[in-house]
Amino acid sequence: MRLLLFLALALSAGAFSQSYPGKPVRLIVPDGPGGPSDLRSRQLAAKLSETLGQPLIVDNRPGGSMIIGAEAAAKAPPVGYTLLMGNIVTHSLNPLLFKSLPYRPAQDFIPVTMVSAGPLVLVVNPQVQAKSLGELIASAKARPEQIQYGILGRGSPGHLLVERLTAASGARFVAVPYKSTGTFIQDLLGGHLPMALNYWSIVGPHVKSGKLRALAVASSRRLEVAPEIPTFAEAGVAGIEGYGWQGIFVPAGTPRPIVVKLQSEIARALNAPEIRSAIIETGAEPVGNSPEQFAAMIVADQERWKKAAAEAGIAPE
């Protein structure tokens, strides 16, 4: 009797996954238009709308350190029609910065697949005389706490990596908080801010145009799209690595067949030449791993940033 019940449930789940989706699917992006998560979502949406046979609608829910969007996705019905484009902030950093969150990253979501991952890049305004990381460190040591850099809030990836650079090199910099990437990039381009750490998708176009100078990439290997930029280790400071990532999540309780189907379709979309090349051009790499691999990666990422936050003396508030 139990075997028959199991077979019936398996058949019904299979039939359900075959018919899914039967209506448009909403993809919540916990950031505003133009950010890395929004860019990646729109790249995927066009392709997945074709393969799924239903529109994938990008729903931007910015604000509150990306908490607003994550909470909305966590509380959505677990039936496969609300997805979250989660990222390093929603799942790795927010638990380190806030004592209380209205969502639980591990319990309220099922990881489907990592979409992409890319390292941060250290850039300076051309008015800065330093032509290398070594020269920048020497300048900062000669003028302690005189060189400013922009951050998107306490405990952001750029903040934690510069704190690690300080610990490794002895050079002290001054963090200047900004409410948006656009604002501090404007100050950086205008010469009001000497330095920043951000993703190639944000700073790359300005490096290519000569408006910014790239000194190092926080990765174990050089960017495929900009192989002339050395890694921090190659530039003389080991242990400075930091990646931002985006990945698809569904609310906890979503049927396994839907998770499997979504992972398969997203991985196939990421292998499409036009999607793959578009992601690489932004300084990231397409992934498309299994739910289990993605979950393990998140745990490792949380531990990495937890260590960085502890070294920087940052505790949840």
Q: What is the 3-state secondary structure (H, E, C) of 271-306?
A: CCHHHHHHHHHCCCEECCCCHHHHHHHHHHHHHHHH
Task: Provide the residue ranges of all domains of the chain, joining segments of one domain with +.
Answer: 23-118+243-311, 119-217
pLDDT at 15: 52
Q: Kindly report the CATH number that applies to the domain delimited by 119-217.
A: 3.40.190.10
Distance between CA atoms of 41 and 282, rounded to whole angstroms? 13
Q: 23-118+243-311 and 119-217: same fold?
A: yes
pLDDT at 273: 94
Q: What are the mean pLDDT values of the chain's consecutive 10-residue runs (317 residues total)?
A: 40 60 97 84 93 95 92 98 97 94 97 97 96 97 93 89 94 90 90 94 95 97 96 96 95 98 97 94 95 97 92 88
Tokens read off for 63: 């604000």
Distance between CA atoms of 299 and 6, rounded to whole angstroms? 32
Burial class (CB in 10 A: 0-12, 13-18, 19+), 87: buried
* Contact (Cβ atoms closer than 8 angstroms) between residue 267 and residue 117: no
Crossing angle, helix 157-169 and helix 133-142, to 10 degrees? Answer: 70
For 84, residues 6+ apart whose C-beta sits below 8 A from its C-beta are: 27, 28, 30, 69, 70, 73, 74, 90, 109, 248, 249, 250
CATH topology of domain 23-118+243-311: D-Maltodextrin-Binding Protein; domain 2 (3.40.190)
pLDDT at 13: 47
Residue with tokens 């990008």: 58
Amino acid at 70: A
Nearest to 177 by CA among 213, 212, 150: 150
Q: Which residues sit opposite 246 in a β-bridge?
A: 87, 116
pLDDT at 3: 41
Distance between CA atoms of 194 and 226, rounded to whole angstroms? 21
Residue with tokens 């944000």: 202
Radius of gyration of the chain (CA): 21
Query: What's the predicted TM-score (pTM) here?
Result: 0.88
Nearest to 37 by CA among 279, 273, 299, 308: 279
